[in-house]
Amino acid sequence: MHIHILGICGTFMGGVALLARELGMTVSGSDANVYPPMSDQLEQAGIELQQGYLAEHLDPAPDLVVMGNAMSRGNPAVEYVLNKGMPYISGPQWLAENVLQDKWVLAVSGTHGKTSTSSLLAWLLEDAGMAPGFLIGGVPGNFGETARLGKTPFFVIEADEYDTAFFDKRSKFVHYHPRTLVINNLEFDHADIFDDLAAIQKQFHHLIRTLPSEGLLITPSDDEAIEHVIEMGNWTPQQTLGLNEGQLQAQNISDDGSQFDVVLDGNKEGSVNWSMLGMHNVSNALAAIAAARHVGVTIYHSCDALSRFKGIKRRMELRGEEQGVKVYDDFAHHPTAIATTINGLRAKIGKRQLIAILEPRSNTMKMGIHQDTLAESLQAADRVILFEEAGVGLSLTDVQQALGQKAIVKTSIDDIINVVCTEANEGDEVLIMSNGGFGGIHQRLLTGLAQR
């Protein structure tokens, strides 16, 4: 069977492509933005990639077209599919019908931490010999790939609340039918498709409605937005977790989050000593431990396995060091995530200078929804460089003024590189935050630092 995927280089659709290829299907795809790491994975898997959305990419006709949720009416490829009466399906529905049937699905949802928690959970199962399948919106260092079918009934999936397709406006995750569900946290996001937090909560209520009564719902103990969702109806046992609170707790946490004890119902079950940083990652680890325990992995084993976790590409990933200046890449898309990432790095490096570079690229940020909280999320950095892309329509002047003299706005990546190469000294740490490719700034900056 030949499937053609429109929007193939998105993290989710790229994972769908890899799973389809592993199932023995012929896979091709089109995308407007073909860039690593997803493009590298797809090409290594023997998947043909085509730039743009042209009708000729669909001639000769594939057996099925799988639509990414970035596709919309007016797209030339979409119009061709509809006009020719070609069979088509959404990515989440394809996944449900071809991969998730008869699986024990462990889904990780929430506004922040989905990729990290999914990666952690897949690794805990792998280390326990359970050979899970997974589809994750990133590249876990322990696996080096975004998706695989696995060898057992267990399948870990990053469960996104974004809509399914232009013809199916339900959240993606309602297709997955999990038995184990993590909701990490819940805030307003995706302002391009949700009017308010209540609209998002309604989708999470729909998700909880699909949970079996013999499943498990894992939530933080102190999230009012999630509690409101649960009050709308819950038919599944719930386990709460938190930092020094909840049924499953992290206690005796080091300042940078690299060490902590795990306590269940008042009894210490294990200790963690790992390479990840920040209180948000401690919470992610607790959620992964709880979900792994639901399928039989002991807390003690999970604590030990975390010491061998290798992180995720684009999640506080050290891209390199030149002349004593370290450059990190982080997939930041929301003020809460930005703040926790910066605070985690600050706890690690102490008083060394932290230079934060932010490209506000998500649809919600571009709409100015987080304008009031963005400056506060950047306060722990010593120097802040904001990238204001020409033509986007988002002004960062208010954010810069709120941060004072330590912040500047630049409209050119070359200008940003020049500022850092001029100002950065040995021992400084540079944190680059964007949920896109950011013009390859990471390697360009490292090259500039090496040549200065």
- Which position has the higher pLDDT, 131 or 337? 131
pLDDT at position 393: 58
**Is the confidence at residue 189, as pLDDT, over 80?**
no
Could you give all domains of the chain from N- to C-terminal order, each with its CATH number? 2-89 (3.40.50.720), 100-306 (3.40.1190.10), 317-451 (3.90.190.20)
**Is the confidence at residue 20, as pLDDT, over 70?**
yes
pLDDT at position 332: 74
pLDDT at position 437: 79
Please state whether beta strands 354-358 and 383-387 pair in parallel, antiparallel, or not at all (unpaired).
parallel
Q: What is the mean pLDDT of residues 101-115?
A: 94
366-418: per-residue pLDDT in tens? 555 556 678 899 999 999 999 988 766 567 888 899 999 999 999 999 999 99
DSSP letter, residue 32: S
Q: Where are the beta strands (DSSP E) in 235-388?
A: 238-243, 248-251, 259-264, 267-273, 317-322, 325-330, 354-358, 383-387
**Of all helices (H) and strands (E), which one includes residue 286?**
helix 279-294
Phi, psi of 359 (to 5 degrees): -105, 105
Amino acid letter at 147?
Answer: A
Q: How confident is the model at residue 361 (pLDDT cuts 50, 70, 90)?
A: confident
pLDDT at position 365: 58
Q: What is the mean pLDDT of residues 111-140?
A: 95
CA distances from 6 to 13, 173, 215, 277 (A): 8, 20, 34, 36
- Which position has the higher pLDDT, 294 or 194? 294
Q: What is the mean pLDDT of residues 284-299?
A: 98
DSSP letter, residue 315: B
Q: What is the mean pLDDT of residues 218-245?
A: 96
Q: Which residues pair with 2 in a beta bridge?
A: 26
Measure the CA–CA gap between 159 and 92, rounded to whole angstroms: 10
- Which position has the higher pLDDT, 278 or 176? 176
Alpha-carbon Rg of the chain, whole angstroms? 22
Q: Which of 42-51, 73-82, 214-223 has the lowest mean pLDDT?
A: 42-51
pLDDT at position 363: 55
Q: What percent of the chain has pLDDT over 90?
A: 75
- pTM listed for this prediction: 0.82
**Is the confidence at residue 244, as pLDDT, over 80?**
yes
List, as one string, the DSSP characters of 175-213.
GT--SEEEE-------TTT-SSHHHHHHHHHHHHHTS-T
Inter-residue contact 237 to 228 (CB < 8 Å) = no
